[in-house]
Structure 1
Amino acid sequence: MKRVAALLLGALAIAGAAASSSPPKYQPGPEEVVAALAHRSGLAEDALRGLLSNCDASQSAMNICAYRDAVAAELVLQHAIANKAEQLPACKDRLEATISRWAAVRDRGCKRSAAKAYGGGSLEPMAMSMCVQHENEQMAKKVERQHSCDR
């Protein structure tokens, strides 16, 4: 129970921090997110819509809803990267290489953090997704602020 409370407090803190800073300009629509989620998960879009309709129904629903949010944040990041590559064509290869390395570090860090907090429990996938979502949101903001290849 303490872990659930800590997770919820952490989620509220992340949400509050995100609300206090300006959000990325691009936001994917719900259908775009469901299509990307279906592609990544291998689940049919209709089945996903059913699971996503009540995120509090079960731990599985909570996990898939958290994964949806991580996928949405990744779509925002991909859009930011594409825009920046268009704005700074000379930076495209360096930016993509940097993001690729960063994503590997993000995934390892989020996996380690979720495993440490929930050690194989049913909340671990949700914690992993929440971490990935947060990291993607932060990186999208960094990419959007970039004005040269120096970073």
Structure 2
Amino acid sequence: MRFMMIAVGTFMALGIGCSAQAQDCDSTQVAMNQCASKQYAALDSELNAQYKAQMAFLTSPAKKKALQDAQKKWIAFRDADCAYQVGKREDGGSLWPLAQAQCLTEQTRTRVEQLKAYTACRQEGCPK
């Protein structure tokens, strides 16, 4: 529960949320939850694109399998870590969806940057 309060405060302080679209992301808890969910969905799409780009670059079936295994394990870690940080849905009340989406977003943002780094270093002998 403590993480949720910190997460909500961080969310508001950083101005993270929807852009100036049709929805005011700070108007209600439901709106904040929806905006956080949309932000996570967009970043998850970027994660999938980066993963597919790296898979397409890899030439060795063993490297492809290694990346696939790493990605599956990372997803399991991300989900478990967010479950630890945010707690159970039934214990979190109306803030839980926001905190969960924020945790997933931050974890996913980190992984996107890792995958982008693989792309950026290809000429320097990155995994092939």
Unaligned runs of 5+ in 2: 15-20, 119-125
1:106 aligns with 2:85: no
| Cα RMSD after superposing both structures | 3.0
Bigger Rg, which one: 2
Q: 1:54: how far off?
A: 2.2
Distance 1:142 1:6, change over 3 A: same
Q: Aligned partners of 1:83, 1:4: CA distance in 2, in Å?
A: 34
How far does residue 5 in structure 1 lie from its aligned partner after superposition?
Answer: 6.0
Q: Taking structure 1 as the reference length, what is the TM-score of the superposition?
A: 0.62
TM (norm. structure 2) is: 0.72
1:12 and 1:70, CA in 2 relative to 1: closer, same or farther beyond 3 A? same
Q: Is 2:127 aligned against 1:148? A: yes
Number of equivalences: 113
Residue of structure 2 equivalent to 1:67: 37
Q: How far does residue 7 in structure 1 lie from its aligned partner after superposition?
A: 2.6
Q: Which residue of 2 aligns with 1:138?
A: 110
Measure the CA separation in 2 of the matches of 1:7 and 1:95: 31
Taking every aligned residue pair, what percent have the same amino acid on both sides? 24
Residue in 2 aligned with 1:125? 97
- Relative contact order, higher structure (CA 8 A, sep 6+): 2
Q: Distance in 2 between matches of 1:4 and 1:140?
A: 23
**C-alpha contact 1:80 1:140 (8 A) present in aligned 2:** yes
Relative to 1, partners in 2 of residues 1:69 and 1:86: Cα closer, same or farther, differing over 3 Å? same
Q: Answer whether contact 2:3 2:86 (CA < 8 A) is retained.
A: no
Distance 1:5 1:125 in 2: 12
User: Aligned partners of 1:57 and 1:9: how far apart in 2?
Assistant: 15
> Residue 127 of structure 1: SS of its match in structure 2?
helix
- On the 8 A contact 2:33/2:98 being kept in 1, the answer is yes
Gaps of 5+ in 1: 16-49
Deviation at 1:121, TM superposition (A): 1.8
The 1:10/1:54 distance shift into structure 2, 3 A limit, reads closer
Quote how far apart the aligned CAs of 1:108 are: 1.4
Q: CA deviation at 1:12?
A: 6.7
Which of 85, 88, 103 is equivalent to 2:58?
A: 88
